[in-house]
Amino acid sequence: MKPWKVIERAPAPGGGELVLHQRGEEFAIRVNGRELMSSRQHGSEERMAEVACARLSGKRPKVLIGGLGLGYTVRAALDRLSPGAEVVVSELVPAVVAWNQGVLAPLAGRPLEDPRVKVEPRDVGELLRAAEGHYDAILLDVDNGPEALTQEGNRWLYGERGLASIRRALKPRGVVVVWSASPDQAFASRLKRAGFDTEVVETPARGKGGGPLHTLFIGRL
Ligand SMILES: C[S@@+](CC[C@H](N)C(=O)[O-])C[C@H]1O[C@@H](n2cnc3c(N)ncnc32)[C@H](O)[C@@H]1O
């Protein structure tokens, strides 16, 4: 088997480093040595978009996706959204945006070139705090689950303050979906306490191809 090669490196604003690895046709982003996203499996990242879009109504939904990763969630959302939709993609590490405009672009069918997409190369927390009753859906996949991995500064997102901020940023009947590599009963309870009708869905990492189960936390206002 071919060895993994490091092809790019970028500092994460809160400390640490994101490293882009390639092995033949495969790509992976690792943060401080731990895999954050890989092109080997992306079924659950796509399912995340599917469950959010299935809960939307209206011709011009506004959707916030954080973060970009390898672009699979953004692509899956675009494939399901109407021509009038707006998709704001928040990405903490500007280099990840550049990688998606370059070597990674073909992986998910060049989603950043879609005219419905607006890329915000900054912390999703900033966008959440600035929004009031703005988004129909918020999709969060910035760590490996509801605990800080990419940067320590993500921790608040999954606590009471973060969930209150998400709630404020959503329109009435809005929906939030949080991706996780594993179940987290405490987070599901917090989501419920924060005022969301909560559903927890388990979904295979490789979609119809199976693989380990990942968890989607769905909160509806
Ligand atoms: C697990 S990957 C996302 C995978 C993506 N769902 C996909 O389909 O490829 C996490 C991404 O979130 C970004 N990220 C981490 N913390 C963030 C934050 N606070 N705001 C915005 N993006 C963030 C990371 O740099 C990384 O690109």
**Considering only CA atoms, which residue is closest to atom 3 of ligand 1?**
69
Mutate to test the pocket of ligand 1, among 68, 79, 180 (most ligand atoms within 8 A of CB): 68
Decide if 65 is inside a domain: yes
**What is the token pair recorded at 57?**
């109504």
Decide if 34 is inside a domain: no
Range of the domain at 46: 41-220
Is the distance from the beta carbon of residue 37 to the nearest atom of ligand 1 less than 6 Å?
A: yes
Decide if 11 is inside a domain: no
Q: Is 93 left (phi over 0), alpha (psi -120 to 50) or beta?
A: beta
Q: Which H or E element spans position 191? A: helix 185-193
The Å distance, Cα 153 to ligand 1 centre, comes to 13
Decide if 130 is inside a domain: yes
Residue pointed to by tokens 């494939």: 79
Q: What is the pLDDT of residue 83?
A: 96
Three state DSSP letters for 22-69: EECCEEEEEECCEEEEECCCCHHHHHHHHHHHHCCCCCCCEEEEECCC
Decide if 15 is inside a domain: no
Q: Which H or E element spans position 168? A: helix 160-169
Decide if 19 is inside a domain: no
Each residue's pLDDT, cut to its tens digit, for the chain (221 residues) gives: 789 999 999 998 878 899 999 999 999 999 988 999 999 999 999 999 999 999 998 889 999 999 999 999 999 999 999 999 999 999 999 999 999 999 999 999 999 999 999 999 999 999 999 999 999 999 999 999 998 887 888 999 999 999 999 999 999 999 999 999 999 999 999 999 999 999 999 999 998 899 999 999 999 99
Of 149, 107, 128, 178, nearest in space to 12 by CA: 149
Decide if 10 is inside a domain: no
**What is the residue type of 184?**
D
| β 197-204/213-220 pair status | antiparallel
CATH number, domain of 153, equals 3.40.50.150
Query: How many domains does the chain contain in total?
Result: 1
Is the distance from the beta carbon of residue 127 to the nearest atom of ligand 1 less than 6 Å?
A: no
Decide if 170 is inside a domain: yes
Mutate to test the pocket of ligand 1, among 150, 151, 182 (most ligand atoms within 8 A of CB): 150
Residue pointed to by tokens 């419920």: 192
